Amino acid sequence: MATKSISRRNILKSLTMGAVASSVLRVIPLEAAEYAHHMVAAEKAASPAGSYTPKFFPARQYKTLQTLCQTIIPADADAGGAMEAGAPEFIDLLTSENPKYQLKLGGGLMWLDAECIDRYGKTYLDCTPEQQKEIVDLIAYSKNAEKDPGLSPGVEFFALLRELTADGFFTSQIGIKYLGYVGNTYLLSFNGCPPVPEA
Amino acid sequence: MPQVVRSPKVYDVCIVGSGAAGGTAAKVLAEGGLSVVMLEAGPALNPEKDFKEHVWPYQVPHRGAGIGGKLKHEVGDEFMAPNGAWEIDGEPYTSAPGSRFRWFRSRIVGGRTNHWGRIALRFAPVDFRSRSTDGMGDDWPITYEEIAPYYDKVESYIGVFGTKENISSAPDGVFLPPPAPRCTETIVKKACDKLNIVCIPSRMAMLTKPLNGRAACHYCGQCGRGCLTASNFSSSQVMIPPAQATGRFTLITGAMAREIVVGKDGKAEAVAYIDKATRSEQRVHARAFMVAASACESARLLLNSRSTLFPDGLANSSGVVGRYLTDSVGSDASGYFPQLEKMPPHNHDGTGGMHLYMPWWKFDRKNDFLRGYHIEFGGGRSMPGVGEFDGICERYEGYGASLKQRCRTMYGTHIGFAGRGEMIPNEKSYCDLDPDTVDQWGIPVLRFHWHWSDNEIKMAKDMQETFRSIVETAGGTFLSKAKPDGSRPYGIADGGVIIHELGTARMGSNPKTSVLNKYCQAHDVKNVFVTDAAAFVTNPDKNPTLTIMALSWRASEYLLDQAKQGSL
């Protein structure tokens, strides 16, 4: 891990430059990016305004939720993932207010751990990355539940979580930037469409 | 007994409702010199506080989805201007067994004009003469020529963009210049040209140039959120302020009209209303009454105004109040257009609505059904919101980098199509009072009866076929959940869902078969007018709001003339 002498400002500056010229982003040393990520996360945890205490999910379930969200929309060279976008907070907030989500997501997380214990002898968080991938690959596609109805609760849970994670990510600042949306501004005139490529 | 407070003041006119019809009447009557009082069941509108124009989804904790995500698949998300809802706490309505009807109601100054689609279409000459044309339904007691000057007045005042096209099914109006088409619209128009489907600039109530003290549109695409510069039309920002400026206009908010009270002479003398804040009954007195509470709410008020003189409800000697209820025939589909994936990033927002549309174009041939429909469409790279990628999540499933990238690649590549067609009134579609249910104010509620006839189903079928041909001609993939059978054949929306419900107190020359004369004046009670879409005889394939305003303007001028002659 990089030393503390790398200032937050420098790290963020290099990240910002990376966003402008994407070639720069790809050469940021992984450890620097990771350091920045930890630093931002630590800052968020330290500041009362930035920290988030889950309203519905118990701490360990929330951690599973966060992990799954990040699996659904991971960080990549172009943008952060669902966690950086605040998707788990968004999902927890909505779930705390919606009994249907409480049943589907709360129950779904319980189902996932039980299924992992059956298959691997441990909860999802304690599974190896390979085991986690194996179970997620099973519940990420409805055709698997057609073959094995026992997977239905997992598939239904994952479908809702996927939808809400996409909502949380693509309505965030980084998600909107990732999509390349241009607008929500004041224009004196509207130019219409640039030349359309052929189908 | 609740204490009944009698107001000593007698206004010239009392208007019930502040939407398109009420707002228009308020402006014309107050500017014409009459003293006007308006009852609105909801609160006042405060644009500075109530409008969420330019707010990003990440600036609010629920990202627009509302508490518990309850607004996720609703008409309006939490950014929308205060407008209305399918369900209002404490104010139910019911549906008769076997009927499916949804009623979108508004309780706010400006009513549903605060976030209507702002599609401002004139009815065509033939629309006023449907029985003479095809033998179904009834003719209006007025002609296009009689209403045309009022379309002119409304358009000149509120501002409507469009182009002169000389199409008989879609008369031209007084138009501001249209905005340039978006990419989605360019693609669809090209396909329509190949198919000989008429696709022209839409006619919408947004200002592409400054007009009557209002600034021109700044193209943020957010009309539905309410416009801080009032560059789009709403009654609350465009009709009510000039009425207020006269000093002759009184607005009473939180006032739920319960009954129009009739004097011994058979003329209306007051409106009894519930002051919601104190839950007390109040009365406001006037010499004339403009009922403009929205078609079904107006019918409800008339039906609830029962007296010894009018045992079946006010102005209902014909028994027609609540009858002839129609909504637009609606069916939707969408398409995926791969060429949109290749568009360079650009500002796609435009006005808060479509820039092109397809008016009814098959009026010159024989079709499988009577009457016609127009097509609205939209899509592309608008501001992302909750639910944006539901379809992609559902269709492709999976997770991870591929899901994330797919969402980006396919963002804004879908175009939705909506047909809006004419329903012919039928015996089985109407509203009446539910004998068993009252709302929290003690007022009997409406019960809806609904039936789509074969003509509407055939029309929905034609819509789906047309959508498919447009999408495929444009090189897209057609996507539709519509099925030929089941409870919603060809995707036909349930009654009321298009929010063009109307016809519940229709005008006509015969007092035995109609409620109002051609000036929206009740046959039975000369000082009562119904100036909203209850007065409509038919529900042509044009959205009703422009015609509501034209009729209300006309009725108001008629009332002003009456007042000048001293017969108020």
Inter-chain CB proximity A167 and B65 less than 8 Å:
yes
Q: Is A37 in the same domain as A64?
A: no
Averaged pLDDT, A61-66: 98
Cβ(B246)–Cβ(B30) below 8 Å: yes
Q: Give yes or no for residue A198 having a pLDDT over 70.
A: no
Residue spans per domain, chain B? 1-45+106-158+233-326+505-568, 161-229+329-421+453-491
The whole-number pLDDT of residue A40 equals 42
Q: Is A117 in the same domain as A71?
A: yes
The proportion of chain B whose per-residue pLDDT surpasses 70, expressed as a percent, equals: 99
B219: nearest CA in chain A?
A187
Judge whether B384 is closer than 8 Å to chain A, CB to CB.
yes
The whole-number pLDDT of residue B82 equals 84
The whole-number pLDDT of residue A14 equals 39
Say which CATH class B1-45+106-158+233-326+505-568 falls into.
Answer: alpha beta
Q: Give yes or no for residue B178 having a pLDDT over 70.
A: yes
Lowest mean pLDDT among A35-44, A67-76, B261-270: A35-44
Cβ(A112)–Cβ(A135) below 8 Å: yes
> What is the Cα–Cα distance from B141 to B321, expressed in whole angstroms?
17
DSSP string, A17-67: HHHHSHHHHHHS-HHHHHHHHHHHHHHHHHSTTT----SSS-HHHHHHHHH
Residue with tokens 């950086």: A84
Q: Is A87 in the same domain as A153?
A: yes
Largest Cα–Cα distance in chain B? Answer: 77
Which has more pLDDT, B201 or A21? Answer: B201
pLDDT in tens, B68-124: 998 888 767 889 888 889 999 999 999 999 999 999 999 999 999 998 999 999 999
> What is the Cα–Cα distance from B493 to B50, expressed in whole angstroms?
30
The proportion of chain A whose per-residue pLDDT surpasses 90, expressed as a percent, equals: 71
Return the structure tokens found at A113.
Answer: 């751990």
Averaged pLDDT, B469-493: 97
The whole-number pLDDT of residue A24 equals 27
User: Which residues make Cβ contacts (< 8 Å) with residue B416, sequence separation at least 6?
Assistant: B332, B333, B334, B377, B378, B379
Question: Helices A30-46 and A8-20, interaxial angle, to 10°?
Answer: 120
Query: Looking at the partner chain, which of B58, B349, B394 has a beta carbon nearest the beta carbon of A172?
Result: B58
The whole-number pLDDT of residue B4 equals 59
Instruction: Name the B residues in 137-196 with CB < 8 Å from any A CB.
Output: 179-183, 185-187
Residues in chain B within 8 Å Cβ distance of A71: 399-400
As for how many domains chain A has, the answer is 2
A184 domain residue, yes or no: no
Q: Give yes or no for residue A13 having a pLDDT over 70.
A: no
Q: Is A76 in the same domain as A131?
A: yes
Residues in chain B within 8 Å Cβ distance of A196: 183, 186-187, 339, 343
Which has more pLDDT, B7 or A18? Answer: B7
Q: Give yes or no for residue A45 having a pLDDT over 70.
A: no
A190 domain residue, yes or no: no
Q: Is A38 in the same domain as A129?
A: no
A27 domain residue, yes or no: yes
Cβ(B435)–Cβ(B445) below 8 Å: no
Judge whether B390 is closer than 8 Å to chain A, CB to CB.
yes
> What is the Cα–Cα distance from B200 to B194, expressed in whole angstroms?
14
Q: What angle do CA B112, B56, A40 make, to 5 degrees?
A: 155
The whole-number pLDDT of residue B6 equals 55
The proportion of chain B whose per-residue pLDDT surpasses 90, expressed as a percent, equals: 94
A-B CB pairs within 8 A amount to 185
Integer Rg of chain A from CA: 20
The whole-number pLDDT of residue B344 equals 92
Cβ(B350)–Cβ(A190) below 8 Å: yes
- Terminal alpha carbon distance of chain A: 49
Cβ(B303)–Cβ(B505) below 8 Å: no
Q: Is A41 in the same domain as A103?
A: no
At residue A12 the predicted structure's pLDDT band, cuts being 50, 70 and 90, is very low
User: Which residues make Cβ contacts (< 8 Å) with residue B207, sequence separation at least 6?
Assistant: B159, B161, B176, B214, B215, B216, B217, B231, B232
A187 domain residue, yes or no: no
Gap from A108 CA to chain B (nearest CA, Å): 17
pLDDT in tens, B192-226: 999 999 999 999 999 999 999 999 999 999 999 99
Instruction: Name the B residues in 393-432 with CB < 8 Å from any A CB.
Output: 393-394, 397-401, 403-404, 407-408, 411
Q: What is the ipTM of this complex?
A: 0.89
User: Which residues make Cβ contacts (< 8 Å) with residue A174, sequence separation at least 6?
Assistant: A79, A80, A84, A85
Q: Give yes or no for residue A48 having a pLDDT over 90.
A: no
Q: Give yes or no for residue A10 having a pLDDT over 60.
A: no
Cβ(A60)–Cβ(A125) below 8 Å: yes
Q: Is A35 in the same domain as A74?
A: no
Q: Give yes or no for residue A32 having a pLDDT over 60.
A: no
Q: Give yes or no for residue A4 having a pLDDT over 50.
A: no
The mean pLDDT value of chain B amounts to 96
Beta bridge partners of B95: B448
The whole-number pLDDT of residue B286 equals 98
Q: Is A47 in the same domain as A84?
A: no
Q: What angle do CA A64, A67, A72 make, to 5 degrees?
A: 125
User: Which residues make Cβ contacts (< 8 Å) with residue B100, sequence separation at least 6?
Assistant: B450, B487, B494, B495
Q: Give yes or no for residue A6 having a pLDDT over 90.
A: no
A18 domain residue, yes or no: yes
The whole-number pLDDT of residue A195 equals 78
Q: Is A58 in the same domain as A149?
A: yes
Query: What is the residue range of A158's domain?
Result: 53-179
Inter-chain CB proximity A184 and B386 less than 8 Å:
no
C-alpha of B359 from chain center: 18
Of B15, B20, B19, give the one whose Cα is nearest residue B38. B15
DSSP tag of B513: T
pLDDT in tens, B408-431: 999 999 999 999 999 999 999 999
Look at residue B565 and give its three-state secondary structure.
coil
Which has more pLDDT, B85 or A175? Answer: A175
Angstrom distances, CA of residue B350 to CA of A66, A81, B252, B412: 37, 30, 36, 14
Q: Is A23 in the same domain as A67?
A: no
The whole-number pLDDT of residue B76 equals 73
At residue B288 the predicted structure's pLDDT band, cuts being 50, 70 and 90, is very high
Where are the extended beta strands (E) located within B450-544? 477-479, 528-530
Residues in chain A within 8 Å Cβ distance of B477: none
Q: Where are the alpha helices (DSSP H) in B397-451?
A: 401-410
Averaged pLDDT, B303-310: 97
Cβ(B179)–Cβ(A190) below 8 Å: yes
> What is the Cα–Cα distance from A87 to A104, expressed in whole angstroms?
17
Q: Is A21 in the same domain as A103?
A: no
pLDDT in tens, B308-359: 999 999 999 999 999 999 999 999 999 999 999 999 999 999 999 999 999 9
Region of B36 (left: φ > 0; alpha: ψ -120 to 50; beta: rest) is beta
Q: Is A70 in the same domain as A151?
A: yes
